[in-house]
């Protein structure tokens, strides 16, 4: 019993199932992070003693993180391109680079958080810090989720390249869409929390 | 996708990467400028972030040649996103458009009540 | 990938990826949760008459969990998880849902969330007791099971997101050839719009749940204002938060959630009515446009639950206007149902009786919502029993009657055996009577000003003395309602245990939609249709002139 349009495109919509699925998921994620940003705006504009965390946040580290994520985004799309051109080795290289950059992001985040804790700055210290930790924390959870998916795809999941290469390529595309969204969120999180 | 087509796309991806790096530097640089109005700084920051976001969405996520159903879903999502985002800012508005719809100022020149006056 | 006959009992019936098994799993689990939530209400009603049968704190937790269980563990999982999963692939001619593994994950996530919610009763301080709305600061400082509630909700929201995403992709991508958008049964349209509501509206509540978990567990102050004074002591938190923030994020979901509660029910009613009037539904195209418009509008009315929070008049005018506008598509849908009846050859079987009674019951529920949607009249009515009467009329003799109608209607398809009609009609008549006897007095109590969520039923307030006698009356009505469900439960058990007759009729109601062309009780794991159908006509071609039968199936060329 085969589910139609898992790989082939349905003629009237021009989509395969997983692509529509991932965009719907991303739409829900837009609403999730939208709610976080909305809360941030509401809390920041309504509290007169809002503590400006710009002064205690490490902008150079966060800029490094931004560069890491942007790099991981381009290596992700290049890995998909390599698969489209049937070059498995290049694909592994690029996906590996993506993984490297994302681990780098996590390591930088680890240093950021631990230095805050070392200075006695916790989410409970002020609402601005609470917002910072929660928003970046949820973003980190999404990065970890992405990493888990990549490890599966480059690990046990790579067997599908031999049996169903087109379906595997679609999986990489879908994972890539998720990853670009994670990057997109950071592109807005970075100025909102660290710069504005 | 044919090979030539793919080469063209590859060039685009790397150009977008370069552009994103430049815009990131710009974002940080702009944050050091002291704007005369606070909202101006906010706006500039948001615009640069939106340009970066647009590049990622249209080029990396291939949104610029995506199908209608996806566009429709995303447009609806974005509308609700803006409703959720900006509604708290208007929470204490007392008027629609211009005017002073707040209660204190609406009722004026109300004649004093003198009772039946014996009628 | 192909039929695997190596399936064990576990993979075939427990960890199944077949949408029919998952639909039945959702159905059984959610109906059991609804029974539990119903039992909570019975105890609450007894406590309002025989005061202090349970402690006020326990009463509060029963109240909060009754609402939570009925909405999130009962009604939505049955109308979306059970009805949606079981029927949508069948009605569009698909072999299964688009993502069978995700479907299974969504059920087990729901199950886990439900178990967590139930287990919260066993916590030392009991289950959550801050209302199903969980308003801070109370919900943050309360020592009851609010944390368990929040964790359970995260599982439930995950389940909902996975399930609704699956339904949308299934409907868009897996329709068979010839099944164009305007030939879809209205039930499928209702499920499509409902799933969009679930995909876009739940995430803000997830964000709010995370914030509240942080407040309770990590000591943050997302919802706690500075200087909060609790019994003389200022709370030692950083402050700077806003209780209103929770209300916004909660109601941003919870308002679309009530449309999630009603739209699939209207979908069920459409199918039952169209089938039992032996003519097409009046205004199908209008109904489709209305339901899409309704879905869109449902996102911009949420603050009508917050008229008493001190919002500016500009905002209250905005939300009052949108609330009035949203009543229009609901009325259009109901009117199309009513107009469909004109000139129909109405068959009064059990599903049709429930479907017909839905119309006036939803009418009462909807009309009583109007004073609540206007800020001025909402001021005396907010947080009174009037609100409880209003929303129960829409959900209880509204959605739940639609659920009953659907069970009687589709049981022969699911099991190959029809439910007993006499028991069904007894179930209907007594449910209808006791529903009205139970919920109607709530309006009188609310108009007198009797507040919600009072463990003593309001007897300690002077202004309620004129309406307090209804509490005893309603307690007896609730017992009547409970007893009225016995024929239903007996009917189901009896029919399940009955032996199936040889070659049951796959289409006993003589209906036109695609699920009736599948075998009675379609086989698990082997695809739904012996051969993939092609659709040639609309969904409600009843009494087509020059046709031999009074119904023409969609796949008849």
pLDDT digits (tens, 9 = 90+) for C498-548: 998 888 899 999 999 999 998 888 888 777 888 889 999 999 999 999 889
What average pLDDT does the segment C184-208 reach? 96
Looking at the DSSP bridge assignments, the partners of residue C145 are: C127
Q: Helix %, strand %, coil % for chain A, to 5?
A: 80, 0, 20
The whole-number pLDDT of residue B103 equals 54
Closest by CA position to A5, among listed C270, C46, C177 = C177
Q: Which residues pair with C229 in a beta bridge?
A: C234
Residue B80, chain A, CB below 8 Å: the answer is yes
Helices C421-448/C401-415 angle, 10° precision: 160
Please give the Cα distance from A155 to B55 (Å, whole number): 30
Of the pLDDT bands very low, low, confident and very high (cuts 50, 70, 90), residue C1 is very low
Output the pLDDT for position A18. 94
Q: Are B23 and B48 in contact (CB under 8 A)?
A: yes
How much is the average pLDDT of B24-29?
A: 92
Quote the pLDDT of residue C523. 82
Q: Would you list the domain boundaries of chain B?
A: 3-88
The pair of structure tokens assigned to C439 is 């919920």
Contact A70 B88 (CB under 8 A): no
Residue identified by tokens 């209003």 is C390
Residue C248, min C-alpha distance to chain A (Å): 9
C178 touches chain A (CB under 8 A): no
Nearest to A2 among C1, C218, C248 (CB): C1
Residue A111, chain B, CB below 8 Å: the answer is no
First to last CA, chain B: 93
Query: Residue range B50-61: average pLDDT?
Result: 92
Handedness of CA C289, C292, C295, C299 (dihedral sign): negative
> Is residue A183 within 8 Å of residue B20, measured between CB atoms?
no
**CB of C252 less than 8 A from some CB of A:** yes
B-chain residues within 8 Å CB-CB of C317? 96
The ipTM value here is 0.95
User: In which residue are the tokens 């007392």 written?
Assistant: B94
Task: Record the tokens describing residue C100, joined without a space.
Answer: 């069978």
Segments in C278-374 forming alpha helices (H): 284-297, 313-341, 350-373
Q: CB-CB: which of B76, B84, B94 is closest to C314?
A: B94
Contacts with A188 from chain B: Cβ below 8 Å: 49, 53
Residue A55 contacts B, CB cutoff 8 Å: no
User: By CB neighbour count within 10 A (0-12 exposed, 13-18 middle, 19+ buried), where does C352 fall?
Assistant: buried
Place of tokens 């449309």: C259
pLDDT digits (tens, 9 = 90+) for C17-29: 899 999 999 999 9
Q: What is the DSSP string of C232-288?
A: TEE--S-----HHHHHHHHHHHHHHHHHHHHHHHHHHHHHHHHHHHTSPPTTHHHHH
Minimum distance, in Å, between the CA of residue B60 and any CA atom of chain C: 23
* Nearest Cβ partner for B45 among A59, A176, A195: A195
- What gap in Å lies between CA A150 and CA A97, rounded to an integer? 11
**Shortest Cα distance from C4 to chain B (angstroms)?**
35
Residue of B nearest to C201 (CA): B80
Does the pLDDT value for residue B99 go beyond 70? no
Token digits of residue C475 = 């307690």
CATH topology of domain C17-224+240-517: Cytochrome C Oxidase; Chain A (1.20.210)
How far is C-alpha C460 from the chain's CA centre? 34
Please return the burial class of A44, using the count of CB atoms within 10 Å of its CB with bins 0-12, 13-18 and 19+.
middle
**What pLDDT is recorded for position B101?**
56
**CA of A119 vs chain B CAs: smallest distance (Å):** 25
| CA C299 and chain centroid, separation | 18
Q: What is the pLDDT of residue C256?
A: 96
Is the CB of B81 less than 8 angstroms away from the CB of A34? yes
Report CB contact under 8 Å: A32, C206. Answer: yes
Q: What domains sit in chain A, N to C, each tagged with a CATH number?
A: 59-195 (1.20.120.80)
A47 in contact with B, Cβ within 8 Å? no
Of the partner residues B73, B84, B96, the one whose CB lies closest to the CB of residue C317:
B96
Q: Does C299 contact chain B (CB < 8 Å)? A: yes
């Amino acid at each position: 019993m085969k589910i139609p349009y898992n790989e082939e495109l349905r003629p009237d919509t021009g989509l395969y199932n997983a692509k529509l699925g991932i965009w719907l998921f991303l739409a829900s994620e837009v609403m999730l992070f939208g709610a976080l940003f909305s809360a941030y705006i509401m809390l920041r504009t309504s509290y007169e003693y809002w503590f400006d965390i710009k002064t205690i946040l490490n902008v150079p580290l966060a800029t490094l993180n931004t560069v890491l994520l942007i790099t991981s985004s381009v290596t992700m799309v290049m890995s998909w391109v390599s698969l489209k051109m049937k070059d498995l080795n290049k694909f592994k290289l690029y996906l590996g680079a993506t993984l490297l950059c994302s681990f780098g992001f996590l390591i930088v985040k680890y240093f950021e958080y631990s230095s805050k804790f070392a200075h006695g700055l916790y989410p409970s210290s002020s609402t601005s810090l609470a917002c910072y930790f929660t928003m970046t924390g949820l973003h980190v959870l999404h990065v970890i989720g992405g990493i888990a998916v990549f490890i599966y795809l480059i690990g046990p999941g790579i067997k599908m390249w031999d049996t169903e290469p087109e379906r595997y390529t679609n999986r990489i595309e879908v994972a890539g869409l998720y990853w670009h969204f994670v990057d997109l969120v950071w592109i807005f999180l970075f100025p909102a929390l660290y710069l504005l | 996708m044919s090979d030539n087509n793919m080469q063209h796309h590859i060039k685009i991806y790397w150009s977008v990467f370069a552009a994103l790096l430049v815009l990131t530097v710009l974002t940080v640089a702009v944050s050091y400028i002291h704007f005369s109005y606070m909202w101006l700084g906010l706006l500039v920051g948001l615009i640069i972030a939106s340009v970066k976001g647009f590049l990622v969405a249209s080029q990396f996520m291939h949104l610029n040649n995506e199908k209608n159903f996806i566009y429709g879903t995303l447009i609806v999502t974005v509308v609700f996103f803006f409703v959720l985002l900006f509604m708290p800012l208007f929470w204490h508005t007392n008027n629609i458009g211009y005017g002073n719809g707040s209660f204190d100022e609406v009722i004026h020149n109300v004649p004093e009540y003198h009772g039946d006056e014996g009628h | 990938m192909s039929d695997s006959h190596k399936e064990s009992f576990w993979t075939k019936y427990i960890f199944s990826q077949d949408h029919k098994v998952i639909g039945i799993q959702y159905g059984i689990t959610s109906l059991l949760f609804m029974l539990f939530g119903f039992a909570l209400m019975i105890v609450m009603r007894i406590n309002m008459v025989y005061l202090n049968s349970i402690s006020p704190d326990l009463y509060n937790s029963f109240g909060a969990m009754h609402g939570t269980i009925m909405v999130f563990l009962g009604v939505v999982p049955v109308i979306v998880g059970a009805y949606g999963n079981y029927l949508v692939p069948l009605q569009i001619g698909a072999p299964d849902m688009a993502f069978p593994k995700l479907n299974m994950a969504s059920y087990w996530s729901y199950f886990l969330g439900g178990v967590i919610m139930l287990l919260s009763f066993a916590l030392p301080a009991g289950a959550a007791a801050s209302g199903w709305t969980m308003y801070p600061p109370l919900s943050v400082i309360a020592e009851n099971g609010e944390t368990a509630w929040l964790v359970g909700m995260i599982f439930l929201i995950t389940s909902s997101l996975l399930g609704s995403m699956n339904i949308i992709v299934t409907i868009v991508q897996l329709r068979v050839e010839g099944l164009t958008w305007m030939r879809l049964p209205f039930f499928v349209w209702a499920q499509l719009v409902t799933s969009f509501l679930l995909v876009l509206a739940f995430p803000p509540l997830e964000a709010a749940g995370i914030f509240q978990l942080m407040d309770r567990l990590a000591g943050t102050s997302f919802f706690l204002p500075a200087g909060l004074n609790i019994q003389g002591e200022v709370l030692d938190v950083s402050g700077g938060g806003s209780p209103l923030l929770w209300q916004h994020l909660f109601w941003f979901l919870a308002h679309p959630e009530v449309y999630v509660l009603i739209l699939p029910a209207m979908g069920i009613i459409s199918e039952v009515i169209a089938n039992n009037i032996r003519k097409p539904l009046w205004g199908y195209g209008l109904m489709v446009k209305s339901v899409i418009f309704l879905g869109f509008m449902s996102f911009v009315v949420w603050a009508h639950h917050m008229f008493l929070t001190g919002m500016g008049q500009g905002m209250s005018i905005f939300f009052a206007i949108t609330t009035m506008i949203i009543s229009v598509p609901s009325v259009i849908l109901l009117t199309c149902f009513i107009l469909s009846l004109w000139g129909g050859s109405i068959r009064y079987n059990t599903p049709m009786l429930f479907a017909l009674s839905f119309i006036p019951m939803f009418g009462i529920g909807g009309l009583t919502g109007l004073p609540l949607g206007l800020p001025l009249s909402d001021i005396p009515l907010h947080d009174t029993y009037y609100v409880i009467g209003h929303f129960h009329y829409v959900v209880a003799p509204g959605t739940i009657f639609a659920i009953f109608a659907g069970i009687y209607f589709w049981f022969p398809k699911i099991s190959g055996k029809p439910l007993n009609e006499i028991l069904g009609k007894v179930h209907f008549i007594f449910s209808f009577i006791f529903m009205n006897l139970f919920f109607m007095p709530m309006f009188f109590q609310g108009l007198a000003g009797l507040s919600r969520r009072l463990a003593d039923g309001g007897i300690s307030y002077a202004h309620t003395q004129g309406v307090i006698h209804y509490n005893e009356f309603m307690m007896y009505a609730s017992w009547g309602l409970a007893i009225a469900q016995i024929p239903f439960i007996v009917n189901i058990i009896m029919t399940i245990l009955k032996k199936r007759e040889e070659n049951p009729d796959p289409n006993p109601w003589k209906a036109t939609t695609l699920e009736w062309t599948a075998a009675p009780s379609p086989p698990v794991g082997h695809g739904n249709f012996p051969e993939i159908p092609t659709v040639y006509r609309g969904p409600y071609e009843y009494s087509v002139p020059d046709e031999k039968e009074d119904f023409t199936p969609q796949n008849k060329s």
